[in-house]
Amino acid sequence: MIGFQLYELTCAILLEPSLRGQHNEMLAHHVAALLLAVLGVAYTYLHYYAPFFMGAVEVSSVPLIGVDFFKEFKGLRKEYLILHELSRALFAVLFVLCRVAYWPFVTYHFWCDSMLELRAAWAGDIGPPIWVVLIFCASNLLLSALQFYWGSLVSKALVQKVLGDEAHKED
């Protein structure tokens, strides 16, 4: 995860400004994910959640490669129509399932465990420093907001597709 986030940040900052997002939200996402990956390794904090937050949710990124490919090479959309549409549909379904529907359940348990960690730290128990727990919590709020923002965009495109509105195909 650390290597991937460093790669994405480098590309977004140095090579391709469009990778930053419309409002630099992708930069915020990659910085937060990188920070959490580094702190998670350095302080072995909440590794139980790493397979979900740094693994399972990334499943939707696999078909996103196809979506991004066809955004860049629009001329190939007609030639590979099935692959183009399959990439879009698979991305949308996986994104909504992993990052919108299931995310809040895992986040709830993350917060329960984080509050227990804070309580233990304030009581003087050994564990991660309070500032590490607070950074994880603040980052979870940011990343959750981003998931729901992006989820609203994906959901809007899904509704447009179901209703036969061609607006979802513009990007």
DSSP string, 94-124: HHIIIIIISHHHHHHHHHHHHHHHHHHHHTT
The reported pTM is 0.85
Flag whether pLDDT at 23 surpasses 70. yes
- Two structure tokens written together for 20: 């930053």
All residues at 6 or more sequence positions from 141 whose CB lies less than 8 Å from its CB, including other chains: none
Is 151:95 a contact under the CB 8 Å cutoff? yes
**How confident is the model over 54-112, as pLDDT tens digits?**
999 999 989 999 998 998 899 999 999 999 999 999 999 999 999 999 999 999 999 99
Flag whether pLDDT at 145 surpasses 60. yes
pLDDT level of residue 168 (50, 70, 90 thresholds): low
Flag whether pLDDT at 169 surpasses 70. no
Question: What does R_g of the chain's alpha carbons equal in angstroms?
Answer: 18
All residues at 6 or more sequence positions from 89 whose CB lies less than 8 Å from its CB, including other chains: none
Among 17-26, 36-45, 110-119, the range of highest mean pLDDT:
110-119
pLDDT level of residue 150 (50, 70, 90 thresholds): very high
The label of the residue with tokens 């730290």 reads 121
Report the C-alpha gap between 152 and 156 in whole angstroms. 6
pLDDT level of residue 170 (50, 70, 90 thresholds): low
Describe the crossing of helices 81-95 and 61-72 by its angle, rounded to 10 degrees: 140
pLDDT level of residue 12 (50, 70, 90 thresholds): confident
Is 33:57 a contact under the CB 8 Å cutoff? no
Mean pLDDT, all residues of the chain: 90
